[in-house]
Amino acid sequence: MLSIIICTYNRSNYLYNVLKSIAENDFPVEKYEIVLINNNSTDNTENECVRFQQDFPQVNFRYFVEKDQGLSHARNRGIDESKGEILIYVDDDAVVNKEYLQTYADFFEQNQSAVAAGGAILPVYETKAPHWMSHFTKQLITGYLYLGNKTKKFEKGKYPGGGNAAYRREVFDKTGYFNVDLGRKGNNLIGSEEKDLFDKMTQMGMSFYYLPDAILYHIIPEKKLTKEYFNELTFSIGRSERLRTLGISKKKFRQRLFLECVKWCATVVLSLFYLFTFSPQKAWKLILFRKNVTVGLLER
């Protein structure tokens, strides 16, 4: 059975639509459950869950409140409360395609040695994409992930997006749960909990796959396109990497600092390219992105 885990915090405006998109999948209802973890929302989340239950009574839908604040706490609660052997995390501000559940079910049935997979993530803007958005900042802001139309292993150093990722339950028996020192807590933007988990999986020799037909459409509100959000997010990326790597070892942190120097070189080259192709806004955003990450990485 598939367990669809949705962790939510104050996203009631989007929640019903993601639940509805799952319920309208072309997949037998007896072969999946939806486990919703409400991480202390203060909005209309509970009423939206009741509305969904009334509209789709045939769906096995279970609802829990996780009192410990933080996305990792909520994700870990989802593991404990779910009953399926395949656990699929779906973002609460998105919708999925009608083939979503069948794609994951078929993949894990046909690939018994595979322990994890993730699908495409395509942004849907509530307004429109800004002029400064480049391929690289698009990935940063929207979680954009598209690796073509064929199933394939993720390359070394690459991994699924956390809001569209599936795992066999056995993964968490081997790696442990999500690191609760990482991941968003309330309105802060600390992350890296997925990277931390996938790094552990890689070290254990586990492979994970890209599934082009398991599509998540990520809703991008105007707020996520503001200067303030950009600065906070990029600083938080650096801060997250500091927490993650120092949590492993000082050597790991030094390696991450060296990698940051390499990333600066690539950023300068890419920025020059955008300048020469008359896209100064894209160049400036890349520089600002890198600067904020570095500051977050170095700040004690």
Closest-CA residue to 4 (of 82, 76, 80): 82
Domains of the chain as residue ranges with CATH: 2-224 (3.90.550.10), 228-298 (no CATH)
pLDDT in tens, 134-182: 999 999 999 999 999 999 999 988 999 999 999 999 999 999 999 999 9
Question: What's the mean pLDDT in 97-111?
Answer: 98
Please tell me the predicted confidence (pLDDT) of residue 247: 93
Rounded (10°) angle between helices 280-298 and 227-248: 40
Closest-CA residue to 91 (of 102, 82, 78): 78
pLDDT in tens, 217-263: 999 999 999 999 999 999 999 999 999 999 999 999 999 999 999 99
Residue 153 backbone phi and psi in degrees, to 5: -70, 145
pLDDT band at residue 51 using 50, 70 and 90 as cut-offs: very high
Given a contact cutoff of 8 angstroms between Cβ atoms, the answer to whether 11 and 93 are in contact is yes
Name the token pair of 189. Answer: 């933007």
Please tell me the predicted confidence (pLDDT) of residue 157: 85
Please tell me the predicted confidence (pLDDT) of residue 253: 97
pLDDT band at residue 6 using 50, 70 and 90 as cut-offs: very high
Q: Amino acid identity of 172?
A: F
CA–CA separation, 53 and 47 (whole Å): 10
Question: What's the mean pLDDT in 41-62?
Answer: 98
Whose tokens are 């973890």? That residue is 37
Given a contact cutoff of 8 angstroms between Cβ atoms, the answer to whether 193 and 165 are in contact is no
Please tell me the predicted confidence (pLDDT) of residue 215: 98
DSSP states of 185-214:
-TT-----HHHHHHHHHHHTT--EEEEEEE
Asked if residue 300 has pLDDT above 80, the reply is no
Asked if residue 188 has pLDDT above 90, the reply is no
pLDDT in tens, 80-98: 999 999 999 999 999 999 9
CA–CA separation, 54 and 41 (whole Å): 21
Please tell me the predicted confidence (pLDDT) of residue 137: 94
CA–CA separation, 264 and 52 (whole Å): 47
Please tell me the predicted confidence (pLDDT) of residue 156: 86
Residue % of the chain over a pLDDT of 70: 100
Please tell me the predicted confidence (pLDDT) of residue 187: 85
CA–CA separation, 174 and 32 (whole Å): 24
Cite the beta strand spans of 131-241 per DSSP E.
152-153, 164-168, 208-220
pLDDT band at residue 265 using 50, 70 and 90 as cut-offs: very high
| Mean pLDDT (the chain, rounded) | 96
CA–CA separation, 37 and 18 (whole Å): 14
Whose tokens are 């809001």? That residue is 163
Question: What's the mean pLDDT in 24-46?
Answer: 97
Please tell me the predicted confidence (pLDDT) of residue 186: 85
